[in-house]
Structure 1
Amino acid sequence: MEYDRIYSIRKGEYFADALKRAGKDFIPTNCIINKLLPGLGATHCELTAPRKSIIIEPNVPVIESKAKVHKNSLAIYKGVSVRQITDFLEKNQDKHYKLLTTPEGFTKIKEAMLAVNIDMYTECFILFDECEKLVQDVHYRDSIREPMNDFFHFQHKALISATPIVPEKDNRFDSFMRVLIQPDYEYRQKLKLITTNNVLETLQEVIEAKRGTVCIFCNSIDSIDSFYRLIPELNNACTFCSEDGQYKLWKGNRRKKSMMITELERYNFFTSRFYSAVDIICKNPPHVILISDLHGATQSVIDPTTEAIQIIGRFRGGVNTVTHIASIRPDLECMSTNEIDNWIQGASHIFNGWKTQLAQTSNIGERTLLQEAIGENSYLPYLDANGKPDPFLIANLYEKEQVKRLYTSTVLLCSVYQQTDYFIFSHEERLMPVSDNERMAIQHRLAKKKRAELIVRKLEEMEKMSRTTDKKVQKRYQRMLGNLLTTTNDRYIYDCFCRFGGDFIRESDYNENKLRTALNVSSEHTIKQSGQMRSSIQRTFPIGSELSVQEVKSMLKQVYKKMGLNTGRGITTKELEQYAEIEKGWKHDNRTIKILKFK
């Protein structure tokens, strides 16, 4: 973006200070402001400006928090009625009132203004904060662009963000002045990018190396859920996410979910639809980890030029370290800018041709087929309610495909990070013997024999690793082995591999009965009644310990896995009762199990 005005800002100054030095008492009208750094107090500047304002924010938490600390302000979101807004306007009509709203709440403001005979287009200044969300979120949140048609009717208006994106094909912005707030001091943040074929293992190694609070940002609830299940350290993590995300985690028995940031845990997850524009207060600067899990969820891509910057900006007290863990997928389907140009041009030509044909024909057969084609096609998602190309939806397509393309190549992703002005960038490639894709294929997708073949191949590749004396490498091997072997048959394969080698398993055609016979394996019942099992249970569940039901299940699963038992089925706390006398209870709304004595 080329800028018409550049205002400097000094270390320790706020947004309002930079404006005043440039001769501006408050945010100028008809401008798009790139404040470059989050947390400069731009919204505060408008909230204290001596004029009536409508401020549009992307989500509810930021609206509530800002409305609480500013006089004559009202937060408008789901549940706030038009009547409440009209009462507020009538009570504060002689004051410099501030209406903070989500995009979805804007229609209620419009209705309330009409009800009390206020011409909002002349009386109010309108500010769209975090304006890149208009482009980035419109594909799943269509209502975010609802205020934009009214936005251009306001006499006084502006858009602002530390990472603004404006649709290039929207000529309504042609007359807007582009303003940059340029720091005159070193402000860049160190960031380490780790590209890997195993996000799960890399995340576990990274969090083990961190001391203090860790905040993990991931745009996929499914990925977060898998981290909960497979990384024991994250059992007590809290996830800050939307209501939909909370429901998904609740179904998966993942604890500590919240929409409001109160006090952070040792480990904390955040989803992108939650953390935008929210101030995150932390006693000490936390370690921040960004996750782009391309094999688990392609929607988890993080844009280095916008989202990565916004995430770091949420921490008003600064951050300790920033690490971006990303998998790379050369086979990821995405379109180049030229391909999108050609697609839109071709789709528009055909679509408009259909409409012209429909207007010209009276043949019932032609009209039926044309109406069917016009009513359902892949071009429709990029049109507005009037059937015209929507610049925000089209800009979203370009932005989404450009970000996906970065994750097809390590070189491309590194290049974009190096080009941003915000980061002091470093890169490490961390490749593992078992990739995320292979792990998920073994656990979910492969037929029994194919699964066994892949396990044997991975065990052979990891053989050297198993014999190392390096504690860090040995720890990695044990964890990867644990994620590789999740069924009883997997354990037979592993035990046979250790005793007889991979060729023996291949010659046995991966047959479970042959492997059992070769190992002379006891039945599951015999294993559970063995002294070794009882010793393992006693070490894992000390007398007097009080654990949540979920912790008991997880710990039992680990014991069973070590003993070569099937952990693929559901494990209940009832199974613990054959080894120990227990007492059931409740603590902090969680069911608990207390170990009284062993049988």
Structure 2
Amino acid sequence: MINIILPINKGQRLSDIYTIETNTILCKTLTGLGATYSEIKAERHSIIIELNQPPIVGKCKDPKHKKDNLFGVMQKVTVDDVIAYLEDTIANGKLIKILCTPESFYKVKQAFEYLELNMYTMCFMLLDECHKLVKDNDYREDITLPIDDFFHFDGKAMVSATPIIPSDLRFEEQNFILVEVKPDYDYTKAMNIVHTNNVLEALKVTLPQIQQVQEEPRSICFFINSTDMILQLMNKLNIIEDSVVFCSAKSVDKLKRSGFNRAYDNWNDKHKKPYMFFTSRFYSALDIELDEKPDVAFVTEPYFAEYIMIDPCTDAVQVIGRFRGGVSTIHHIVNTNESYPVRTKSGIVEYLKASREAYMTIKRIYDCTTSLETRNAFKAALDILPFNKMLKNGKIDYFAIDNYMDEALVKSSYNNIDLLMSLYGKTSHFRAEISDSLFYPLGDKERLTLENKNTSIKESRKKLVEILESLKNDMDSPIVQTHIRELRRLDPFIVEAYETVGKEVIEINNYSPKKIKEAMILKRYREKTTGVEFVQLLKNSFQVGKCYTLKYIKAELVRLYKMLDISPKDTVTAQTIREFFQVEEL
């Protein structure tokens, strides 16, 4: 693909130096250059594909587009609505300016067909934030729905500040070119990396540090692609009353069912709070305009889920670009996962090639088999082969292949901090430095291992006892006390057992709850019956050399046990006195 470099000066907009041309992949490098704006203002009919709903809502409500005849096609918009818009637009001699999600593109297509209009020759199609065609392909099956139609348009282009060049052969066949905007000034930003094995505890340290350098209080914006994790952090950091969450409509409902009501599926500054949390829905194509420069914090905990990993070359760049007024500081609080495989691009290509060969081998046998049962057997085998995920309607889905490649390389970078820093080094947007390394006896890995419901209770308790043993020499420190509270929440019985009888007794009893509980009862009994108070009471009730009836001895012992709230290990009898005195029967 031919690569054309387009220099740009500070303060210039895209429209000052370039008009988007057909068969172009535009790498604008910087967000907020006005690529979508220039297409909205262009003197031609346009269909702009926005890969998420918030930018459509935002642009349609923006006062600066009030006279631009924008029409958003999303979930609740019908084909009839699109037909009415087209009829009114044409009747009034206006330009068609449709903003549409991939999933709703079929409505636009059907409306043009109904009115017998050829959208392929009539309109220019712009695919905005085209990197998401690759990034989101694995969980949004319909995100590439407009792609086949895209190649039928006479005028078409793709744009992103962080494009991932597609491997789809049609881009070469139609002679697409890559136009790359190159700023002639330094646009890099400082990125503070906090490497940790416990994201929550690291946030308890980092959050006050961020606030401490603020001359005046300002918002802190967190980007975490999991509302489950967001809810946990808000609760455990005690900031839930000062927080707001921006996420998908489904996640809004989920949070409300959990009792959190300040969750919204579209950005609006009227919902602003000191702590604002955003999921990946808001990573790109959205203008967040504030009267301040907030602090931004990415949070990645790969033991919790893979999908919350931040890609420094796309996600991080796009997020910072959302803040049109700029940001004050940028932080990435990150754990790494050594179990993630380290892979190379050439190795992944080899894997995909072998996967395709394996699929085609089984496919040839399937095609030649005449027996119905045999065909069913080979069809079942085809369905579970890895390469089956790289197919769509029986054809190779190049965006699925690109997604697999991209995800595998990003995942590899989270194996260790050196690989992650290396990936940060490949983007020209950040000067990333490790500002702190915060490691704790109880890390995310250990905690999630204990919470894993697939692990047996015995194995989980063995791990928990090992952790407690590693903490025993520093029990008075605040952080260790925090860890113990967390362990007690996970398994109060085994923590109490460890504190009462210790590791050795637990292991001798082979982690049997019944036997451990008996050992705990005996230990407490001995502690109480050999304590100073009990001995003093015994001496007060029984004098050496004096005679007592068996009935009196039993009654007195029962009374003393009750007085000190002691549960005797056996039934109290007169002979129990032998545990405390040398006795002679007369």
Structures share fold, TM-score greater than 0.5? yes
Assess, with a 3 A threshold, how the Cα gap between structure 1 residues 216 and 103 changes in structure 2: closer, same or farther.
same
Secondary structure, aligned partner of 1:143 = coil
Amino acid at match of 1:38: T
**What residue in structure 2 maps to residue 293 of structure 1?**
301
The equivalent residue for 2:560 is: none
Counterpart position of 2:584? none
- Equivalent residue in structure 1 for 2:439, among 431, 441, 454: 431
Aligned to 2:410, which of 389, 403, 414? 403
1:595 corresponding residue in structure 2: none
Contact (CA 8 Å) 2:45, 2:124: kept in 1 or not? yes
Q: Show the 5 A alignment for 1:41-440.
A: 41-69=34-62, 70=65, 71-93=68-90, 94-173=93-172, 175-211=175-211, 212-234=218-240, 236-262=242-268, 263-333=271-341, 335-375=343-383, 377-385=385-393, 387-427=394-434, 428-440=436-448
Q: Match of 2:23, as an amino acid?
A: N
The residue type paired with residue 28 of structure 2 is K
d(CA) in 2 for partners of 1:67 and 1:520?
74
- The one-letter amino acid of 2:291's match is K
What secondary structure does 1:145 align onto? coil
Rate the CA distance shift 1:442–1:229 in 2: closer, same or farther, 3 A: farther
1:261-283 CA-partner distances (Å, limit 9, x unpaired): 22221212211134332222333
How far residue 311 of structure 1 moved from its aligned partner, in angstroms, is: 1.0
Contact preservation (8 Å) 2:195, 2:335: yes
Shift of the alpha carbon at 1:344? 2.7
Structure 1 residue 252: Cα displacement: 3.4
Contact 2:283-2:315 at 8 Å conserved across structures = no
- 1:414 and 1:249 map into 2 onto residues whose CA distance is 34
CA distance in structure 2 between the partners assigned to 1:222 and 1:204 by the alignment: 18
The answer on whether the counterparts of 1:238 and 1:269 sit within 8 Å (CA) in structure 2 is yes
Letter in 2 for 1:483: E
The answer to whether the Cα contact below 8 Å between 1:505 and 1:515 also exists between their aligned partners in 2 is no
- Correspondence for 2:537: none
Bigger CA drift: 360-369 or 294-303? 360-369
Give the secondary-structure state (helix, strand or coil) at the position aligned to 1:209. helix
Equivalent residues in 2 for 1:473-552, closer than 5 Å: 474-486=477-489, 488-489=492-493, 492-493=496-497, 496=500, 511-515=516-520, 518=523
Distance 2:495 2:378 in 1: 60
The farther-off stretch of 336-345 and 400-409 is 336-345
Which stretch has the larger CA shift, 142-151 or 341-350? Answer: 341-350
1:367–1:36 Cα change, 3 Å: same
Q: Which runs of 5+ in 1 are unaligned?
A: 20-25, 468-473, 522-599
**Contact map agreement 1:383 1:389 (CA 8 A) in 2:** yes
Q: Which residue of 2 aligns with 1:32?
A: 25
The one of 454, 467, 474 aligned to 1:458: 467
CA drift at 1:222 = 3.0
Deviating more after overlay: 108-117 vs 354-363:
354-363
Task: Name the CA distance, whole Å, in 2 between partners of 1:502 and 1:149.
Answer: 64
Deviation at 1:518, TM superposition (A): 4.2
Whether the 8 Å CA contact 1:31–1:177 is kept in 2: the answer is yes
Kindly tell me: are residues 453 and 206 of structure 1, through their superposed partners in 2, closer, same or farther at Cα, counting changes over 3 Å?
Answer: same
Question: In the aligned structure 1, how far is the partner of 2:346 from the partner of 2:375?
Answer: 33
Deviation of 1:10 (Å): 1.9
Contact 1:223 1:297 survives alignment (8 Å): no
AA matched with 1:440: L
Aligned residues: 504
Structure 1 length-normalised TM: 0.78
Change (3 A) 1:315 1:358: same
Shift of 1:194: 1.7
Identity across the alignment (%): 33
User: SS where residue 79 of structure 1 aligns?
Assistant: coil
Q: Distance in 1 between matches of 2:284 and 2:53?
A: 10
Provide the C-alpha distance between the structure 1 equivalents of 2:507 and 2:359, rounded to a whole number of angstroms.
57
Change (3 A) 1:490 1:375: closer
Assess if the C-alpha contact under 8 Å between 1:452 and 1:493 holds in 2: no
Partners of 2:146 and 2:83 lie apart in 1 by 19
Distance apart, 1:350 and its partner CA: 3.6
Residue aligning to 2:553: none
- CA shift for structure 1 position 410: 1.5
Aligned AA for 1:439? R
Q: 3-state DSSP class of the match of 1:303? A: coil
SS in 1 for 2:392: coil
Gap change, CA 1:514 and 1:284, over 3 Å in 2: farther
Give, in angstroms, the shift of residue 324 of structure 1.
1.0
| CA distance in structure 1 between the partners assigned to 2:451 and 2:116 by the alignment | 63
1:109 offset after TM fit, Å? 0.8
Task: Say which SS state the counterpart of residue 210 (structure 2) adopts.
Answer: coil
Residues of 1 paired with 2:411 and 2:32: CA distance? 28
Change (3 A) 1:348 1:502: closer
Query: Does structure 2 retain, via aligned residues, the 8 Å contact 1:62–1:279?
Result: yes
Contact 1:508–1:515 (8 Å) recurs in 2: no
Stretch deviating more after TM superposition (114-123 or 340-349): 340-349
Gaps of 5+ in 2: 212-217, 527-586
Note if contact 1:18-1:181 (Cα within 8 Å) is conserved in structure 2: no
8 Å contact kept, 2:359–2:388: no
Residues 105, 452 of structure 1: CA spacing in aligned structure 2 closer, same or farther, 3 A cutoff? Answer: closer
Residues 179 and 477 of structure 1: CA distance in aligned 2, closer, same or farther (over 3 Å)? same
Counterpart of 2:572 in structure 1 is none
Tell me the amino acid that sits aligned with residue 404 of structure 2: L
